[in-house]
Amino acid sequence: MRKRRSRTTFLLLLAASAASALFMPALPSFQTASAAVFIPVSHPSHAIGSWAARQLDADPPLDAVSPAAPREVRAVYEENLVLRQQLILYAKRTQELINLNRDREKLGTALRPRCDPASVVGVITGDGEVLQVAGATEATQDMAVLHVAGSEAGIVGRVLSTAPAGQARVRLISDPDSRISAQFVRWDETAQQPVGFDTEPFIVSGVGNGLCEISRHRAEDLTSSGVAVGTWAVLADAEWSELLQGVRLAQVTEIVPVPDEAGFVRVLLDPSVNFAQLNEVMLLTRP
């Protein structure tokens, strides 16, 4: 009887565990709380273990000025070599941080304080074009996502879904399901700022492979207003934050006639930044 009960419990638990392993996400808050139960063992063992590891790994402590234990010239020389290498490493890291901050400043004084960075941890392509980001603890669905990788900031897409522990997925503007209202801009030399062309706003949709398009546009409007290859399309969409209106989307790379529709053209656009190569994106957490 006991054996049967034990076997039944085992099979039930096994089935539940298998189902949970396959279909349930991790439960970070529960797991963090459960781990706390083991602190009486884990904490001292970790302290002892890490102390032991430090003793095995660490270089002997520096005591460069002790008259009681004068060191050999060779030891000082070797220490200098180590310190020089560390100096180069830290200089490199400092430069990386300076570059990172300089890139983030491209967002401008209005956007920068309202954005939080998140790391790109994966690119999911196939049916759609989606970025997997981590460290997006304040991300919510449909939140705007920008990049600072090009010559200036641009739109990456919107948050598609979020998960615990700061994980989120971002639908790229090149995703075939992405639709954004936009307009063309040109650089005004006298005003030293971009100004919109005299054209109606249009819909930019994704076509995959990191590209976008305007599937159908009146050719006459484009030629009369001077839109050509190299012209930038910027965000002009009431569904997006007011702060983002005018932020770069993509650049015209090709204008081709629409077959069987005289007077209409298809405009291909390139965001000019390879989204798959981004290391960091900025989330507009405080629109």
Partner 1 sequence: MRFLPHIFLTYLAVGLHLGLGALLSVGSAVAHLPWIAAAFIAMTVPPASAPLAALIVGLLVDCVGTGAIGVNAVGYALAGLVVSRMRTTRFEGWLIALSAGAVIVGANLWLNGLFRADGKSLLGALGTILLTILLGAALSWPLWKVRRRFLINDSRM
Of 2, 61, 74, 238, the one binding partner 1 (CB under 8 A) is: 2
Work out how close the CB of 157 gets to partner 1 at its nearest, in angstroms, rounded to a whole number. Answer: 20
If one asks whether residue 27 binds partner 1 (CB under 8 A), the answer comes out as yes
If one asks whether residue 99 binds partner 1 (CB under 8 A), the answer comes out as no
Of 50, 80, 193, 274, the one binding partner 1 (CB under 8 A) is: 50
Can you read off the two tokens belonging to residue 201?
């706003």
Of 29, 53, 76, 127, the one binding partner 1 (CB under 8 A) is: 53
**What angle in degrees, to the nearest 10, is found between the helix axes of 39-57 and 28-37?**
90
Residue placing its CB nearer to partner 1 in the complex, 13 or 98: 13
Of 20, 85, 94, 141, the one binding partner 1 (CB under 8 A) is: 20
Residue placing its CB nearer to partner 1 in the complex, 21 or 58: 21
What radius of gyration do the chain's Cα atoms show? 28
If one asks whether residue 238 binds partner 1 (CB under 8 A), the answer comes out as no
Chain-centroid distance, C-alpha 271: 15
Residue placing its CB nearer to partner 1 in the complex, 43 or 92: 43
What does the DSSP assignment read for 159-175? EEEEETTTEEEEEETTS
If one asks whether residue 51 binds partner 1 (CB under 8 A), the answer comes out as no
Please give the Cα distance from 118 to 197 (Å, whole number).
34
Closest C-alpha to 212, from 185, 232, 197: 232
If one asks whether residue 18 binds partner 1 (CB under 8 A), the answer comes out as yes
Give the angle subtended at the CA of 282 by the CAs of 280 and 239, to the nearest 5°: 140
Measured CA distances, 203 to 93, 130, 173, 223 (Å)? 42, 20, 11, 18
If one asks whether residue 44 binds partner 1 (CB under 8 A), the answer comes out as yes
Which residues in this chain contact partner 1 in the complex, by CB under 8 A?
A: 2-3, 6-7, 9-10, 13-14, 16-22, 24-28, 30-31, 34-35, 37-47, 49-50, 52-53, 122
